[in-house]
């Protein structure tokens, strides 16, 4: 029992440090989202991919924190799990909001960069996964949830339209 308590204390300290890092990285991610929506739209796809890569890093960090919480007694993790859930929810909202703004602008480009189709296909799969996670977690409840569902559905349609018209990578 003493070993369990000692480990809980150690895992909690690790989880708290990781949560602090998650908060710091979330601020970086917010800046990257804003950067993806500014400047030359032709360069925007590259900035958007950098933002999405940062999102992937944050999702991995969330998984590590959840792993640390799983190694502790449940009563020692309630506040940590709540903070992780809130950050994860903010991250999903940020992805949806950034995606809709970016792809609404991007779809109006007359000439799209080579590889746009593949990048958008990847994004389409990723947003579908986010939608599934939100539905499983009852995140779509309430007015904000329904607005978010509408935004997600809209950006999924936009992506399908872009994919239909976008150039793919050349096959050699």
Q: pLDDT tens-digit profile of 95-153?
A: 999 999 889 888 888 878 778 888 889 999 999 998 888 888 776 667 777 888 899 99
Name the residue ranges covered by the structural domains of the chain: 2-165
3-class DSSP assignment, residue 68: helix
Percent of the chain with pLDDT over 90: 41
Domain 2-165 has CATH 1.20.58: yes
**Which is higher by pLDDT, 136 or 53?**
53
What distance in Å separates the CA atoms of residue 23 and residue 80, rounded to the nearest whole number?
A: 13
Residue 158 near residue 107 (C-beta atoms within 8 A) = yes
Going from the C-alpha of 106 to that of each of 31, 102, 118, 127, the distances in angstroms are 19, 6, 15, 17
């Amino acid at each position: 029992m003493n070993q369990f308590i000692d480990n809980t204390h150690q895992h909690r300290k690790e989880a708290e440090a990781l949560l602090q890092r998650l908060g710091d990285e979330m601020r970086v991610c917010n800046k990257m989202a804003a950067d993806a929506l500014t400047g030359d739209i032709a360069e925007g796809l590259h900035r958007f991919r950098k933002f999405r890569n940062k999102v992937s890093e944050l999702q991995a960090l969330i998984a590590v924190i959840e792993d640390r919480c799983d190694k502790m007694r449940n009563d020692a993790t309630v506040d940590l799990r709540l903070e992780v859930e809130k950050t994860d929810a903010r991250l999903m909202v940020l992805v949806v909001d950034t995606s809709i703004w970016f792809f609404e602008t991007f779809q109006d480009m007359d000439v799209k960069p080579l590889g746009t189709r593949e990048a958008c296909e990847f994004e389409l799969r990723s947003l579908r996964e986010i939608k599934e996670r939100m539905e499983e977690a009852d995140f779509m409840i309430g007015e904000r949830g329904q607005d978010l569902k509408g935004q997600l559905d809209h950006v999924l349609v936009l992506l399908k339209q872009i994919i239909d018209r976008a150039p793919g990578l050349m096959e050699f």
